[in-house]
Amino acid sequence: MSVYIGTALSAPIKPLPQSVKADWKKVPLGQKLFFDPHLSADGTVSCASCHDLEKGGDDGLKYSVGVSGKKGNINAPTVYNAVFNFRQFWDGRAEDLKAQVFGPIENPVEMNMTMAQTVDKLKKDPMYVSEFARIYSDGITQENVADAIAEYEKTLITPNAPFDRYLKGKQGAISREAEEGYKLFTSKGCIICHNGVNVGGNFYNKFGIFKDANSSSLGRFNITKREEDKYVFKVPSLRNVALTAPYMHDGRARTLQEAVGIMSEHQLGRYITEDEIRKIVAFLESLTGELPKSARKN
């Protein structure tokens, strides 16, 4: 089994913080860029197209649709709470949110623009010229575009989930069924991978430990070319997971119930009953937090 640890596996689930440190002068500009389809080659796709902030921070599709109706080959992860992930993308190829920005813009299926082309396009817009000049001494550059979008994405956190309130000692914050589901989540071993403040997102693991998962994507292997990295992916966060179907990197699971069953079989190597799945799903539903004000389009 290939496991690459970003933080201690024994760390319990922790409540999300109420706020994060961000440069709030840059956030409104990053928000405009995040929602602007002109950052794509045909003017139809924005960051928000695949990361719909009213749909859990993803697009609800098995594979996202980019420029000219092109379909991708991997399930879009949520942008909510991405700031707490130790790496970005399923294969972890971006070390932080700023590095992640370049990926979708320059992907020929997603937005199909080079960052240089993006800068040239933005320089033709007086509003952006003025906004960048007000915030950045060197105006519109590739680094500054990525920086502004990343600062906005940092603010997309969803605190105060019922389970967060439960962790803080609020009686009645979650149902008895959800509480029993959390105990099962722990005792069955789910918490080994899904822990910490983001209930995941803090290390890599192989998909298909106890049973071949028949993944068409090779995961980390595409980056490292090491045999042991085949089918290794960043463990996803389970925050707001009730809002982000379908599941897995290839969108194979249509419901949470199906996802829990798949994970118990392939990752834990054990059978769990329908009643146990129902309780675990109740726990997972308690991880849905409050959407931030910055999620609203200006």
Task: Look at the block and give the residue holding tokens 């089918």.
Answer: 231
Low-confidence ranges of the chain (pLDDT < 50): 1-11
Task: Look at the block and give the residue holding tokens 């969108």.
Answer: 251
Alpha-carbon span 222 to 297, nearest angstrom: 35
Alpha-carbon span 152 to 32, nearest angstrom: 9
Joined tokens for residue 189: 């071993």
Q: Could you give the residue numbers annotated as active site?
A: 110
Q: The domain 3-13+159-285 is classified under which CATH number: 3.90.550.10, 1.10.760.10, 3.30.450.20, 2.40.50.140?
A: 1.10.760.10
- For the chain, residues classed under CATH 1.10.760.10 are 3-13+159-285, 27-156
**Sequence ranges of the binding site:** 47, 50-51, 190, 193-194, 263
Residue 298: its pLDDT value, please? 62
Residue 11: its pLDDT value, please? 42
Residue 8: its pLDDT value, please? 35
**Sequence ranges of the binding site for heme c:** 47, 50-51, 190, 193-194, 263
Amino acid at 54: E
H/E stretch holding 5 reads: strand 3-5
Alpha-carbon span 53 to 269, nearest angstrom: 35
Considering the entire predicted model, what is its pTM?
A: 0.93
What is the CATH number that goes with domain 27-156?
1.10.760.10
Alpha-carbon span 179 to 35, nearest angstrom: 38
Q: Report yes or no: 35 and 210 within 8 Å, Cβ to Cβ.
A: no
Alpha-carbon span 125 to 128, nearest angstrom: 5
Alpha-carbon span 8 to 239, nearest angstrom: 19
Which stretches within the chain are classed as H helix? Answer: 27-34, 47-50, 97-106, 115-122, 126-135, 142-154, 162-167, 176-187, 221-224, 256-263, 274-285
DSSP 172-220: TSS-HHHHHHHHHHHHTTGGGTS-BTTTS-SEEEES-SSS----S--BT
Alpha-carbon span 67 to 62, nearest angstrom: 17
